[in-house]
Structure 1
Amino acid sequence: MSKAKGATSMRRLVGLFNTSLSSAANPPAAAAVVNSSKPIADPLKFKKLADRFKKSSESRRFRNYSKKVYSETVQRLASAKQFSLIDDILQHQKKYEDISQEGFVIRLMLLYGKAGMFEHAHKLFDEMPELNCQRTVNSLNALLSAYIHSKKFDGVGKLLEELTEKIGIEPNLVSYNTVIKAYCEMGSMDSAVSVIDTLEKKGLEPDIITFNTLLDGFFSRGQIADGEEIWGLMEKKNVVPDVRTYNTKLRGLVHERKISEAVEFWEEMKSKGIKPDIHSYNALITGYCNAGNLEQVMKWYGELRESFLPDRVTYVTVLPFLRKKNEFEMASEICKEAMDRRMLSGGAALVDELVKESRIEEAIQFVESGLSRSALRLKFP
């Protein structure tokens, strides 16, 4: 491409980008409807959001059938670090008779947990007798989960021990599985395995969740031999592995760059009647991306598409690999698809690579495709 033509193409690309930004800043009236998925920047609007939520809470139907709205509202406020408003709308729920129902309180504790407000969840648990709400092992487990969601892993085991003695609620298998999860997240694998002895002393038997949690803890850290021992114990206990169990080992083998062993294990998985899911395919695609094997990446990507639609993990794994391999045409098509399906926010990285490679016309074609251009953040030389 001549310098003059290149400069003209670059100006055209910049012009397209600026036009798209202008259009995004001045949308037509039909597009001006409030989109609940968009973040609110003005603190005053967060307050108005909380006030509207509290007003809606006056409806029993809203309280009983709008669990998704509860979750999304708390998530939006948490993303903006509006923790006082989260406490405001959840404390507001205490004025309704639902607060005497354990299931309703559990929902509130889990919402606190997902916002990282484990102390507030604990306070609500402590207040349950005052709220005329009976505490059972279910609310105890919800509190443990709130600690997990808040990433307060080091407090889970101690909390279970303290509350068991303090309020006399006997933990169940869910309780111990949650403690195992916390230890695995901390990397305290010896402590995690020791919980199996504890629950068996209580007359409980580990289930598939117990083993899947332990296997994920070992395999994700590359401790393949230790994971194999747990797998053997699982079989000894007559616990039948499921697709998640197999996926955990697949990811472990891929993590250790043992792709040939992962493929052999895939075949073993199928021979035992376990149907691979999208996570199984993503594991092998990741393995071949790590190995730099374009042919195998596209082979497994093609096989995935025969049974599933790619998910976000698929796209964020394949697209950078294709750009690295200079497979821009293929990357462009997959990126357009991902953006059409709202699985990715933009194609800035792809356009940047095309510009770096002086493939300006291809960059122009991509931007002209009309896909979320306002989401692109281009870096022009």
Structure 2
Amino acid sequence: MLKMMGKTSFSSSSYSYCRSTRGMLFLHTTPIVALFPSKSSNSTKSRQTQRGKPRVGNVEHALKVFDEMLHSRPLPSAIRFTQILTQLARLKHYSAVISLNREMSLLGIASNVYTLTIIINCYCHLNQMGYALSVLGQFFKSGLQPDVATFTTLIHGFVLQNRVAEAARLFSKMLGRGHCQPNVFTFNTLIKGFCMIGNNSAAMELLRKMEERGCQPDTVTYNTIIDSLCKDTLVDQALNLFTEMIGRGIAPSVVTYNSLIDGVCRLGKWKEAKRLLNEMVSKNIFPNVRTFTVLVDALCKEGMVAEAKSVVEMMIQRGIEPDMVTYSSLMDGYCL
């Protein structure tokens, strides 16, 4: 395997490290872009506040722009305020977003569906699911209808807190309502939750339900289940799912191969690991630091420390910087 790897040419720019763990989180947010007519002004800052999407680089700048907007007359629309809240949420200043939204309410600036969904997301990240659920009441008071993003955000919040059963109940209620159909992000979020608690059968069942409802699984869907199966040493099932994935025309990624290589290495199937490594390279999917770290860890656990050290040296030669996990695995090998 090492000989084959040594002949392969890798570029350091081709690597992106994605640690494949049960706790991987994801939340997809689509920004709202809207234009608000501006008045003529000599102030550049004022023009930035009134034209296009307000850009903020940090929380201080965001608060300043928000304050300028509050003092503008006429007041900008809720969409423009929501754009600021969106950027603050991306900067992970969740409490600030909630506070600013309260100021909006005091001034009579009505929140829209997207605004309230952002607030739910902030409460979820602050581990305040009770408040997140209470925001649903604001939807109905305002005559608004929660959409798929709203429900997906709440489901994600429960998954974040490992409250997967509650996430599943909310998903069932979403299906029962009928007017709001789950999308691939909704399914992926709940599938990740099931995999986090090791309930692979429920994850597989949800995958089949996706197909029944005409929702197309994507690479993330398959990667999540394959990774979970490999962690539970259910490698044959993972390889079968991998074959299904390829058959459906869904392209695997380096994350897919990393999980499979990790799985076969756990079982000491070195020939299979070599085959997968050859296959990924032939598809122009180049190993990253995670791939090599998996190999180093597996070799060390088998007492093959010299071979593991050679992998680390090869990484460095190829411009791939080993991380703490790589070196920890190598040190553990010397201690065995």
- Shared fold per TM-score greater than 0.5: yes
3-state SS in 1 of match to 2:311? helix
- Measured in 2, the distance between the counterparts of 1:309 and 1:60 equals 43
Q: Which position in structure 1 is the counterpart of 2:203?
A: 227
Matches within 5 A, 1:125-140: 125-129=101-105, 133-140=109-116
- Measured in 2, the distance between the counterparts of 1:254 and 1:126 equals 46
Q: Which position in structure 1 is the counterpart of 2:313?
A: 332
- Measured in 2, the distance between the counterparts of 1:335 and 1:187 equals 38
- Measured in 1, the distance between the counterparts of 2:288 and 2:329 equals 22
Q: 1:218 aligns with which of 170, 194, 210?
A: 194
Deviates more, 1:321-330 or 1:218-227: 321-330
Structure 1 residues 243, 153: closer, same or farther in 2, change over 3 A?
farther
Contact 1:156 1:182 (8 Å CA) reproduced: no
Q: Which position in structure 1 is the counterpart of 2:127?
A: 152
3-state SS in 1 of match to 2:226? helix
- Measured in 1, the distance between the counterparts of 2:317 and 2:328 equals 10
1:310 aligns with 2:287: yes
TM-score by length of 1: 0.62
Task: Please report how far the alpha carbon of residue 127 of structure 1 lies from its aligned counterpart in structure 2 after TM superposition.
Answer: 2.0
Q: 2:327 aligns with which of 339, 349, 362?
A: 349
The amino acid of 2:165's aligned partner reads D
Contact 2:120 2:133 (8 Å CA) reproduced: no
Structure 1 residues 169, 126: closer, same or farther in 2, change over 3 A?
farther
Asked which structure has the greater CA Rg, the reply is 1
Contact 1:154 1:186 (8 Å CA) reproduced: no
- Measured in 2, the distance between the counterparts of 1:352 and 1:245 equals 32
Structure 1 residues 104, 311: closer, same or farther in 2, change over 3 A?
farther
3-state SS in 2 of match to 1:239? coil
Structure 1 residues 351, 124: closer, same or farther in 2, change over 3 A?
closer
Task: Please report how far the alpha carbon of residue 290 of structure 1 lies from its aligned counterpart in structure 2 after TM superposition.
Answer: 2.8
Give the number of equivalent residue pairs: 281
Matches within 5 A, 1:71-220: 74=58, 86=59, 88-97=60-69, 100-114=76-90, 116-129=92-105, 133-148=109-124, 150-152=125-127, 154-155=129-130, 157-199=132-174, 200-201=176-177, 203-220=179-196
Contact 1:219 1:249 (8 Å CA) reproduced: yes
The amino acid of 1:179's aligned partner reads L
Contact 2:112 2:144 (8 Å CA) reproduced: yes
The amino acid of 1:60's aligned partner reads Q
Higher helix proportion, which one? 1
Contact 1:100 1:133 (8 Å CA) reproduced: no
